[in-house]
Amino acid sequence: MIFMKKSKVAILKTSPATVLSDYHELLNLAGYQQALAKEKDTALKINISWHFFFPASSTTPWQLEGVIRAMKKDGFDPARIHACHNRTVVIDAHLGERENKQINVIRAHGLKNVHLYEGEEWINIQDAVGDLTKKFICLNEVFPKGFMIPKRFIGENILHLPTIKTHIFTTTTGAMKNAFGGLLNERRHWTHPLIHETLVDLLMIQKKIHSGIFAVMDGTFAGDGPGPRCMRPFTKNVILASADQVAIDAVAAKIMGFDPLRDLKFVRLAHEKGLGCGDPREIEIVGDKSAADENWHFVGPFKKMTFASRMQHKIYWGKLKKPVEWTLKTVLAPWAYIASVLYHDVFWYPTHQKILRDVLKSDWGRLFNNWDELAIPPDDLNRAGWQTVGEAPAELKRESLKLFKKSVRVLGTCIREAPEFGARKRRKLGARSKCDMEG
């Protein structure tokens, strides 16, 4: 595959003491000021893979802090920068932005915080991208009647904020998959059997609608195993950035120990379509080239799968596909959402608190734990990072009851906001409104 311009990925090693200045250097090494027009609005697409804090699962507060401070320092107008969240059927974004301390950063800098499913206008994909729909690999098949995307995305920059981690559907997840939640509505789980093709279609859409695309990936913590939730976290102290979504995912995958063109179908497909470079040999590495040469030898998501991930694979690609998958496209679908919350939130998270206890003793864990007490004034743009990160918690409080209560609330929200029920409500409201008008 020949690209007109060689793709570039910036990579640096970092520490709490230098992370803010490192992010500023990283973004400029990767050419973000050339990729993102300052006169356009920029959406910071935050990643929340779990509404509870779990290392490597979601956008870190220092990642978000570093990007915002870099943009302010380089002359981006904060009034044109906003945080951006999507909702899923099993993740509570409001709880997630609090538990992961992302909202603390957004409020400190006075940025607008946009939840795409709350009061935002959505537009039909045909109206948004026109004939590009004819080039889709799979979305026309999955959604024969079309689908909606957020209208506010059209004509604005997007800056993705993924983390380095594995994923039970795509082997690894990063920049390309971070668009999944923002661009597709809550029925996006319909695309899971064709997830690789879906990510390629979504990248085509992004290139059509956004004025600029960029990704900043945090690998201070990196996750291996059946992600994006039930992972084994490692402290890796690496950060990456690129204007090429395919290239940054390929480099991250290579560092994790995978062959991106062999092991990641979505990278290979995007590479073949010329949407970016998925061959690490053809990508220009800037910054700390030795960090890009590391091999973490991650085992990936399929060696030690959880009960939930095994069942998901059987439903989408295995023996349960024919008897069960059809229910996920009907009013019966909430059974799967309930099962996911019960397994991950009620069972797995409370029973794996030792992982958090160990993580919170690390420098990054202590910084996270003491985030509010160590807050740097938002207008102090010259601070390199945190010279001290505070003490580790003497003992992680046993909060099983509190976690259970939060899980129950998430379960209630997941049932109440299930798109299948929401569609029925809208039809009833529409019929009632029609009767009122006729009456």
Whether 376 is in a domain gets the answer: no
Give the whole-angstrom CA distance, residue 145 versus residue 64. 37
Residue 13 lies in a domain: yes
Pairing between strand 163-167 and 171-173? antiparallel
Q: Helix-strand-coil percent breakdown of the chain, rounded to 5?
A: 50, 15, 35
* Residue type for position 347: F
Chain-centre distance for alpha carbon 296? 22
Task: List, for residues 13-43, the tens digit of each pLDDT value.
Answer: 999 999 999 999 999 999 999 999 999 999 9
Joined tokens for residue 297? 């030898």
pLDDT band at 328 (very low <50, low <70, confident <90, very high): confident
DSSP class of 361: T
- Please, which residues bridge with residue 173 across strands? 165
Q: Indicate whether 381 belongs to any domain.
A: no
| Count of structural domains within the chain | 1
Three-state DSSP state, 417: coil
Q: Identify whether 378 is part of a domain.
A: no
The answer to whether residue 369 sits within a structural domain is: no
Consecutive H or E run containing 358: helix 353-359
Q: What are the CA-CA distances from residue 351 to residues 310, 345, 395, 403 (Å)?
A: 19, 10, 16, 11
Q: Residue 224 has which token pair?
A: 């291996």
pLDDT tops 70 at residue 251: yes
Mean pLDDT of 378-384: 96
Q: Rg for the chain (alpha carbons), in Å?
A: 21
- State pLDDT tens for residues 31-84: 999 999 999 999 999 999 999 999 999 999 999 999 999 999 999 999 999 999
- For residue 158, give its domain range: 8-303
Contact 227, 165 (CB under 8 A): yes
Residue 431: is it exposed, middle or buried by C-beta count within 10 angstroms (0-12/13-18/19+)?
A: exposed
Asked whether residue 375 is assigned to any structural domain, the reply reads no
One-letter-per-residue 3-state SS of 364-402 = HHHHHHCCCCCCCCCCCCCCCCCCCCCCCCCCCCCCHHH
CATH code of residue 72 = 3.40.50
In a domain, 173, yes or no: yes
Q: Is 394 part of a structural domain of the chain?
A: no
Strands (E), 28-75: 42-46
Residue 233's beta-bridge partner residues?
223
pLDDT greater than 70 at residue 407: no
List of residues 6+ apart from 291 with CB closer than 8 A = 11, 12, 13, 238, 255
Span 115-128, pLDDT tens digits:
998 989 999 999 99
